[in-house]
Amino acid sequence: MGGTEQNFVQEAFEENWIAPLGPNVNGFESDIQNFTGVTHAAALSSGTGAIHLALDILGVGPKDLVLVQSFTFCASVNPIKYLGGEPVFIDSESETWNMCPKALQKALSFFKTNGSLDRVKAILPVHLYGMPAKIDEICAIAAEYGIPTVEDAAESIGSTLLGKHTGTFGDFGIYSFNGNKIITTSSGGALVSSSREKIELGRKLATQGRDDAPHYQHSMIGYNYRMSNVCAGIGRGQMEVLNDRITQRRENYIRYQEIFESINNSGYSIAFQEESPKAYSNRWLTAIYMDPERNKGKTREELRLYLEELNIEARPLWKPMHLQPVYEGALYFGTSVCEELFKHGLCLPSGSNLSKEDWIRIEDALWEFFT
């Protein structure tokens, strides 16, 4: 927490706005708009709910297809199934580790050739660990085929490409404010778009699809997805420290970069997600890739277990969705980029509050392991 969150929460209590609407909800939506430059935002109870609403508004239904990045958390994909649709998984490219534009092209031309392009209702890339995907290329391909884009920017609030915020390129963007994100409302999310109508519809669907009438009237099936005014109070305080948090996370990355530069100089080859000159990542998590051929036989899993013994938590990268038992048999386009990332990649401790002592422990452990 940054410090001012309690003031906003206190205000909610004093004004008795303990509901999924109120001044903090409106204020938090404005804060998101002002920070990202998006024109419309709806504060919701989760990022997963935001993806569900985006796909629902785009009309995804039974037997429809959504082309989604395979290398991601399950929440990017499950809402496709909530609506009866089918995910089609797309591989990553090896620079940003996000959706590969070439694999996306291949998938789209496959569906065009077999006459089922009209079943493709959306393209869903993810900005993993905060790193902007090649979203300009992805949106250009999507536009060529006339298919809308939903950007999963759950992990990347504050990241930009060509000076434009992730989440604001597609027809819809979503953010998450879950407890593990760079800023949090304990649990929460947002749906954003440049379309007023779409976000108004999103708010209505998030409020049980209630019509504008003095009594309870419903002409569509909605959900209970609005953010509480208490949680939004936390969000308002958190927005005040978002820039500081990004600076802290980027400093973590620079520190790891320096450590691994020295380790690489002694004959290893450890790589990070690449931030192109046109990108700016919030570096939510710093993750490494250990090429199995170029690290003297040392493996990711040995490193993870070594750190675990020292009570330093590190985790494998996301297991691709096309390898998940629950999505067995789904179509997949690409090669083995995301499979290799999963096999040989590791997320390192990346909190905004790593202390001097923490860093000494991490740095010593890494040096001991590699040398």
Ligand X SMILES: Cc1ncc(COP(=O)(O)O)c(C=O)c1O
**Where along the sequence are the contacts to ligand X (CB under 6 A)?**
46-48, 72-73, 75-76, 126, 152, 154-155, 176, 178, 189
Alpha helices in 195-299 (DSSP H): 196-206, 229-239, 242-265
What does DSSP say about strands 332-333 and 189-193: parallel, antiparallel, or unpaired? Answer: unpaired
The 10 Å CB-count burial string (b at 16+, else e) for 45-57 is: bbbbbbbbbbbbb
Which residue lies nearer to ligand X by CB, 27 or 49? 49
Closest CB 219 distance from ligand X, rounded Å? 27
What's the token pair of residue 271? 């790589």
Closest CB 15 distance from ligand X, rounded Å? 26
Closest CB 180 distance from ligand X, rounded Å? 7
Task: State how far Cα 248 lies from the chain centre.
Answer: 19
With a CB cutoff of 8 Å and minimum separation 6, the contacts of 133 are 69, 96, 98, 99, 125, 126, 127, 151, 166
What's the token pair of residue 286? 């710093």
Closest CB 19 distance from ligand X, rounded Å? 20
Q: Which residue is nearest to ligand X (CB)?
A: 47
Residues in the chain: 371
Which residue lies nearer to ligand X by CB, 75 or 88? 75
Closest CB 354 distance from ligand X, rounded Å? 20
Which residue lies nearer to ligand X by CB, 83 or 117? 83
Which residue lies nearer to ligand X by CB, 91 or 263? 91
Which residue lies nearer to ligand X by CB, 126 or 366? 126
Which residue lies nearer to ligand X by CB, 72 or 295? 72
Is 64 in contact with 52 (CB distance < 8 Å)? no
Which residue lies nearer to ligand X by CB, 42 or 263? 42
The number of beta carbons lying within 10 Å of the beta carbon of residue 164 is 15
Closest CB 177 distance from ligand X, rounded Å? 7
Closest CB 75 distance from ligand X, rounded Å? 4
Q: Smallest Cα–Cα separation from 285: which of 98, 63, 102, 128?
A: 128
What single DSSP character describes residue 226?
A: B
